[in-house]
Structure 1
Amino acid sequence: MIRWIWAFLDRPAAQFDDGVAFWTTVTGTTLSERRGDRDEFATLLPDYGAPTLKMQVIDGPPRIHLDLDVDDVQAATDHALALGATLAGDYILTQRIGYSVLHSPAGMTFCLTPFREPMGGLAPTVTGPAGDRSRVDQICLDIGTSDYAVESRFWTDLTGWAWRPASLPEFSRLSARPGVPVDLLLQRLGGDRPTSAHPDIACTNVDATADWHEALGAKRIQRGKQWQVMTDPAGQTYCLTGRTPA
């Protein structure tokens, strides 16, 4: 059983500080003390309520990976492997320090990590300069066409969360609410490539939020009917969506 989900904003060292400045502002958070052998980890802390975002310094291009908190890491790892995941890197090391790093059947990196304590209630929404309100409330998994059926089944079985269709046929959603405030959105892409992820921010006014984010260094990429595709200052894709930030 997945008890909590963390979305890691992985950034190269040269872009980490700019990423911190942008993401703490748009999420209304402050950065925790950095930790790890190389001070590579930090948590984005809201004024109150449950944190769900962390940041990590990595070697390589910016990306998103997920940490899934579980009661028993070894049992959850065995379950994930039985569902089609593969271990990444030196499992002897990760086993020694208490977590496992895996890839989904179509290549999405995720970690199984020990659940320590309840995170608390819902964090506050963020109010932009124009009065628009927003909140990161889901992580979208971008899945290639050929992998969509297998990958969707994998994440549904791994999480045990409730599956439901979305308003468009290329989307479906996994939700553990009210226990976990971040959903997983499964998106079927128009072509094939390894699965990746991006954050979705629910907004009361997509255009006003996009204006604010642009002033902070983000860029508009593509406008959809109910969403705006953006890139942050490091070039990482995210979306602003026209949904009520609960």
Structure 2
Amino acid sequence: MIRWIWVFLDRPAQHFDDCARFWSAVTDTRLSPPRGANDEFRTLLPDPALFAAASVKMQAVTGLGGVHIDIDVDDIPAAVRTGLDLGAQLVANHPDYAVLRSPCGQNFCFTPCGRTARTPAPAVRTPDGTLSRLDQVCLDVGPADHEIETRFWTSLTGWTCLPGERPEFARLRAGKQLPAQLLLQRLDENRPASAHVDLATNDIEATALWHEKLGATVLQRHEHWIVLSDPSGTPYCVTDRDPNDR
């Protein structure tokens, strides 16, 4: 059973500090002290007055970076066996966590769960009053792999798979409050699976403008979402979903 989801923003080391400041600002969080052998990890910490648990972490990496999720579970060896039975590959097995790769190439981790109940952070109110919340990881999958990945993630999570408003999307929704849900997007071209984050907002134009002022760049505009890149050039989206809908 999935106890908690961590959204991991993996960002190139040369842009990490700029990205950490950017994502701390857009999520209205403070940065934890750096940790790790090379100070490569930071956690985005909500205001303690909210009584909400952290759910976003950052890691400085070599290469282009990207996004992955950590899944808190009660029994990591059992979760690994389930993942392997469903077609995942074991990348690394550490004493206190395991790294796997989905059948079509998306890395993820199983991590130990905490023993206390946790509450996701509420939506962030921007300076102009707009609400937004980082609440979704979108798995970008080629057309040849979309059915395989959808079946894998549905079985692995045990979440409900719902059709999106557009045929290229499938949504996975948990039966309990978690800080992030999953969206699978069928791409137009075949390539290894990857991921980006989505923020729900009640005003995509206002949110995009605020992000631009903080260092983001608008890449594409669509009717219901805007694609931007953060200070490292890594894409993400702001979408017109309800930021208060958990």
Q: TM-score range by the shorter chain?
A: over 0.9
Deviation digits for residues 80-108 of structure 1 (CA, Å, limit 9, x no counterpart): 011000111xx3xx33x211111100000
1:83 aligns with 2:86: yes
How far apart, CA to CA, are the structure 2 residues paired with 1:159 and 1:182?
Answer: 12
Deviation digits for residues 111-146 of structure 1 (CA, Å, limit 9, x no counterpart): 111112345223132122322110011111101100
Match of 2:219 in 1: 221
Match of 1:203 in 2: 201
Q: Which moved more, 1:37-46 or 1:191-200?
A: 37-46
Task: Evaluate the alpha carbon distance shift between residue 180 and residue 118 of structure 1 in structure 2; reply closer, same or farther with a 3 A threshold.
Answer: farther
For structure 2, the residue ranges without an aligned partner over 5 or more in a row are none
Kept in 2, the 8 Å contact 1:175–1:182? The answer is no
Identity over aligned residues, as a percent? 52
Match of 2:188 in 1: 190
Runs of 4+ in 1 over 6 A off after TM superposition: none
Task: Give me the TM-score of the superposition, normalised by structure 2.
Answer: 0.94
Match of 2:149 in 1: 151
Match of 1:3 in 2: 3
How far apart, CA to CA, are the structure 2 residues paired with 1:231 and 1:58?
Answer: 17
Match of 1:52 in 2: 55
Query: Given the alignment, which residue of 232, 235, 241 partners 1:234?
Result: 232
Query: Given the alignment, which residue of 62, 67, 71 partners 1:64?
Result: 67
Kept in 2, the 8 Å contact 1:50–1:119? The answer is no
Task: Give me the TM-score of the superposition, normalised by structure 1.
Answer: 0.94
Offset at 1:12? 2.1
How far apart, CA to CA, are the structure 2 residues paired with 1:124 and 1:159?
Answer: 23
Kept in 1, the 8 Å contact 2:119–2:177? The answer is no
Match of 2:160 in 1: 162
Offset at 1:50? 2.2
For structure 1, the residue ranges without an aligned partner over 5 or more in a row are none
Amino acid at match of 1:203: T
Alignment of 1:169-184 (within 5 A): 169-184=167-182
Root mean square deviation, CA, Å:
1.2
How far apart, CA to CA, are the structure 2 residues paired with 1:42 and 1:205?
Answer: 29
Q: Which moved more, 1:110-119 or 1:226-235?
A: 110-119
Offset at 1:224? 1.0
Kept in 2, the 8 Å contact 1:62–1:234? The answer is no
Q: Which moved more, 1:30-39 or 1:139-148?
A: 30-39
Kept in 2, the 8 Å contact 1:218–1:231? The answer is yes
Aligned positions, number: 241
